[in-house]
Amino acid sequence: MNADGICPRVNAQYLKPYTESVVRLIGRVTQVNGDTAILDAAGSVTVHSTRDLVFTEGQIFEITGRVNADLSVKALDGINHGSDGNMDNVNKMVELVQRHKAFYYNI
Amino acid sequence: MSNYNSYDGNSYGGYGGGDTGGGYMTNSYGGGDTNGDVKYSSQGGADRTIPEGKTRLRPVTMKQIIDATKTHDDAPFIIDGVEVINVSVVGIVRNVTHATTTSTYRVEDSTGMCDARKINRPDEQDFDRSESFPRVGDYVRIIGEISNFNDKRYIALRHMRPITGLDEVTFSVLEPLLVHLQTVVPSSLYSTADVAKSNSSALFTTSYETESLTPLQRRIFDALKTAEEQDMNEGAHIGVIADRIGASRNSVMAACEELTDLGLAYTTVDFEHFKLIM
């Protein structure tokens, strides 16, 4: 994350414009392969873990990370929200944030 | 103005006072003795009169806190053309600094980062006296007062509590947007009645439509918003609108009908006079 704390909220549908930027992503872990996990966030996103971030299948994580050229995300930080929570609402929220980008972000 | 002085006295006095629970509610800035209303230019474009003395707790983003303006040093902060003193903001704690007299929590909500500072009082049981909260990485809701210290924006922290569960995170991202839209666009579009009778997606459909207007609809919308005819019962005639924005009468007529279909305008005395719904 930058010192100003700006990391736009995205899901799989909005990754492309943020290549090389730091974003905030909420998704449910569908698969764990070593230090890489696949998250469902309105589509699949491959997330490369940090050392102290342990992914568990079925749990929802909020990732702050950098978007790679292949649209995978290198996690810098992650918060485990547990398995409860409505991902449909999260994706609706991301859509609204993206539609009102100027309200949320100075970018 | 004497009110601004009383604002300083009350708010900071209340902060150090004993009653932390209700401290932010007792602020009497503005009081009832103002000699009139103050005009602010809102982000919505048109000037609008905001009555003073409306103290409320407003949900905001860090970006709104950082971007808040002041007309002069002693004046309250302004967000969307409205005075804001007490704010509620949700974010992740990124840094914690404990000093003898203050605790500082650097909190980030993806839109920006800001310090929340609390004065420690050794004789009081406080929300942050436990070892386990708040720590770096915690999701928290902060309630406090927007302040400046040494030209740096911070939140004078009154209360902080943990956020539990994803759904509250989702809600807390959208809450400031809803209040922002209720503040800057015609109230009828985002009234509480709408919230009650529609689900969240339908609620925001209207905003999609105001944002996805065609260029011509947008020009008409903007022209009508500031038009003096907006204050009259009959509204503006399409011929007048057409002249003003330099478009043909037929295209303006069609666009006005589309604005009506979108629920943004309505016809008045006949089908050629339009007014925006405010």
Break chain B into its structural domains and give their ranges.
2-165, 185-278
Tell whether A102 lies on the interface with B, counting CB pairs under 8 A.
Answer: no
Q: Which pLDDT score is estimated for B8?
A: 36
Please give the residue of chain B at the shortest CA–CA distance from A8.
B110
Spelled out in words, what is the top-level CATH class assigned to the domain B2-165?
Answer: mainly beta
Tell whether A22 lies on the interface with B, counting CB pairs under 8 A.
Answer: no
Residues of B in contact with A84 (CB under 8 A): 165-166
Q: Which pLDDT score is estimated for A2?
A: 66
Candidates A3, A4, A90; nearest CB to B170: A90
A91 vs B268 pLDDT, higher one: A91
Second CATH level (architecture) for the domain B185-278 = Orthogonal Bundle (1.10)
Closest CA to B116 of B145, B137, B151, B83: B145
* Residues 6+ away with beta carbon under 8 Å from B191: B182
Residue from A93, A94, A106 whose CB has the most chain B CBs within 10 Å, to mutate: A93
Q: Which pLDDT score is estimated for B19?
A: 35
Which residue(s) pair with A23 in the sheet?
A65
CA B191-B193-B194 angle, 5° bins: 70
Closest CA to A48 of A91, A9, A89, A78: A78
Inter-chain CB proximity A62 and B169 less than 8 Å: yes
User: How far apart are the CA of B163 and the nearest CA of chain A, in angstroms?
Assistant: 10
Please give the residue of chain A at the shortest CA–CA distance from B113.
A5
Over residues B169-219, the pLDDT tens digits come to 999 999 999 999 988 876 655 655 444 444 444 444 444 456 678 888 888
Over residues A8-41, the pLDDT tens digits come to 999 999 999 999 999 999 999 999 998 999 999 9
Q: Which pLDDT score is estimated for B248?
A: 87
Q: How confident is the model at residue B18 (pLDDT cuts 50, 70, 90)?
A: very low
Tell whether A106 lies on the interface with B, counting CB pairs under 8 A.
Answer: yes
Inter-chain CB proximity A5 and B110 less than 8 Å: yes
Inter-chain CB proximity B207 and A100 less than 8 Å: yes
Inter-chain CB proximity A5 and B170 less than 8 Å: no
User: How far apart are the CA of B17 and the nearest CA of chain A, in angstroms?
Assistant: 33
SS3 content of chain A, % helix, strand, coil (to 5): 20, 40, 40
Spelled out in words, what is the top-level CATH class assigned to the domain A9-100?
Answer: mainly beta
Tell whether A13 lies on the interface with B, counting CB pairs under 8 A.
Answer: no
Candidates A6, A92, A103; nearest CB to B200: A92
